[in-house]
């Protein structure tokens, strides 16, 4: 009878609620065998180009992946943005670009119409010059100037 009482106490958590029984637990009141943590598989970082490109959803007829690479070192803590018209861009609020390396920022999107855009630093400082244009499916690399 004494073994049964100890088994009942062992099955209770400190808050008085019954503990979940594991399939390998025995009823003699001994502790279940310790489990060893399983090793997690090693993760390998994907190349930056694969990470920055959005997953291609089924695009509308005539739409193509369009990429803008901006070559610009904006310094630590700053970011590059695009504002414009077409492919989800607006002139009111910029979209952030993905930092590919220390001097390359990338935006990719599916466009079916030409895109007109400007490059901004921190979505506040506008690049100098005229608005830039890119056709659907094109990839452009540019180094904008700032006044």
Per-position b or e across 44-78, b if 16+ CB within 10 A of its CB: eeeeeeeebeeeeeeeeeebebbbbbbebebeeee
- The torsion of the CA quartet 115, 117, 121, 123, rounded to 10 degrees, works out to -90
Asked whether residue 47 is domain-assigned, the answer is no
**Whole-number pLDDT of residue 48:** 37
Are residue 72 and residue 131 in the same domain, yes or no? yes
Q: Give dist(CA 136, CA 110) in Å, integer.
A: 8
pLDDT digits over 87-105, tens only? 999 999 999 999 999 999 9
Give me Rg for the CA atoms of the chain: 29
- In three-state secondary structure terms, 6 is helix
Are residue 67 and residue 19 in the same domain, yes or no? no
Asked whether residue 55 is domain-assigned, the answer is no
What's the mean pLDDT in 55-77?
Answer: 80
Say yes or no to pLDDT of 147 above 60. yes
- pLDDT-derived band of residue 61, with 50, 70 and 90 as boundaries? low
Asked whether residue 108 is domain-assigned, the answer is yes
Are residue 66 and residue 135 in the same domain, yes or no? yes
Q: Give dist(CA 88, CA 64) in Å, integer.
A: 14
What's the mean pLDDT in 31-49?
Answer: 42
- In three-state secondary structure terms, 9 is helix
Are residue 93 and residue 137 in the same domain, yes or no? yes
Q: Within the chain, how many helices (H) and strands (E) appear? A: 2, 9
The CATH number of the domain where 92 resides is what?
2.60.40.10
Are residue 66 and residue 136 in the same domain, yes or no? yes
Are residue 125 and residue 65 in the same domain, yes or no? yes
Number of domains in the chain: 2
Domain that holds residue 133: 60-142
**Stretch among 42-46, 102-106, 128-132 having the lowest mean pLDDT:** 42-46
Say yes or no to pLDDT of 49 above 70. no
Are residue 87 and residue 135 in the same domain, yes or no? yes
**Nearest-CA neighbor of 66 among 136, 118, 113, 132?**
136
Asked whether residue 45 is domain-assigned, the answer is no
Q: What is the mean pLDDT of the chain?
A: 75
**Stretch among 23-37, 46-60, 101-115, 119-133 having the lowest mean pLDDT:** 46-60
Place of tokens 């209770």: 12
The model carries a pTM of 0.59
């Amino acid at each position: 009878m004494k073994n049964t009482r100890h088994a009942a106490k062992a099955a209770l958590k400190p808050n008085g609620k019954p503990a979940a029984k594991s399939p390998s637990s025995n009823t003699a009141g001994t502790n279940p065998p310790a489990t060893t943590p399983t090793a997690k598989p090693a993760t390998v970082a994907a190349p930056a180009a694969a990470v920055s490109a959005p997953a291609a959803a089924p695009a509308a007829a005539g739409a193509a992946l369009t990429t803008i690479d901006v070559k610009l070192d904006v310094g630590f803590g700053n970011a590059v943005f695009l504002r414009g018209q077409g492919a989800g861009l607006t002139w009111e609020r910029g979209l952030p670009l993905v930092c590919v390396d220390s001097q390359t920022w990338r935006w990719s999107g599916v466009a079916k119409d030409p895109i007109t855009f400007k490059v901004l630093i921190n979505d506040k400082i506008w690049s100098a010059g005229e608005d830039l244009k890119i056709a659907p499916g094109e990839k452009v690399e540019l180094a904008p100037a700032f006044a």
